[in-house]
Amino acid sequence: MIEQKEIVSEVKVIVFRLKDEEYGVEVNQVKSIEKLEHITRVPRTPKFVKGVINLRGVVTPIIDLRSRFGLEEAAYTESTRIIIVAVGELEVGLIVDAANDVIDISVNAIEPPPEVVGGVEAAYLRGVAKLEKRLLILLNLDKVLNTEEMKQLDSFEV
């Protein structure tokens, strides 16, 4: 029997860290990874929206993923990063503790998410990938960014 490798579908993901957990987001949804820079606060926004940055001439809303997922906040460090993601027309920056690497995951290694993983609701998760000695939590950005609160971010002007 001949193995057909091209049939096995893989997903390329950016791996990042929040608290003690590793998360992944599909590379095709990531525009760039930036070092933390000055964030301009915007009044009357949800608590998890830290404000906006001017990223190469584009006003980009910034969300603290720890706060979005109800995890305790932590001081930003040298390894803190902003992952710029795009879902549909919405482009936002996600503050994460660290962005580690880019890996390929076989779709066969991805399982449906349990109800809650590391304090994060299953609605925000696409699945959990088992990789040798690691568990990688894959985010469903459509759900993370698709709320009434987030729709307000589409109209930011500074």
1 within some domain: no
Q: Tell me the pLDDT of the chain (158 aa) as tens digits.
A: 555 445 558 899 999 999 888 999 999 999 999 999 999 999 988 889 999 999 999 999 999 999 988 889 899 999 999 999 998 888 999 999 999 899 999 988 999 877 655 556 677 888 999 888 888 999 988 888 865 656 555 555 44
Q: How many domains does the chain have?
A: 1
5 CB-near residues (< 8 Å, 6+ apart): none
Give the H or E element holding residue 25: strand 21-26
Cα distance between residue 138 and residue 26, in whole Å:
8
Question: For residue 118, what are its two tokens?
Answer: 């590391």
- pLDDT given at position 148: 61
Domain that holds residue 88: 9-153
2 within some domain: no
57 within some domain: yes
C-alpha distances in angstroms, 68 versus 2, 36, 145?
Answer: 47, 18, 10
- Give pLDDT tens digits for 102-133: 999 998 899 987 765 555 667 788 899 988 88
105 within some domain: yes
CA-only gyration radius of the chain, Å: 16
108 within some domain: yes
Cβ atoms of 129 and 112 closer than 8 Å = no
- pLDDT given at position 158: 41
CATH code at 116? 2.40.50.180
- Give pLDDT tens digits for 129-145: 988 888 899 998 888 88
Best CA proximity match to 110, nearest among 30, 11, 21, 25 = 11
- For the chain, how many helices (H) and strands (E)? 3, 13
Cα distance between residue 121 and residue 99, in whole Å:
21
4 within some domain: no
158 within some domain: no
- CA triplet 79, 85, 91: central angle to 5 degrees? 125
Pairing of strands 58-64, 49-55: antiparallel
Cα distance between residue 126 and residue 141, in whole Å:
8
CA–chain centroid gap for 84, Å, is 9
Cβ atoms of 156 and 149 closer than 8 Å = no
29 within some domain: yes
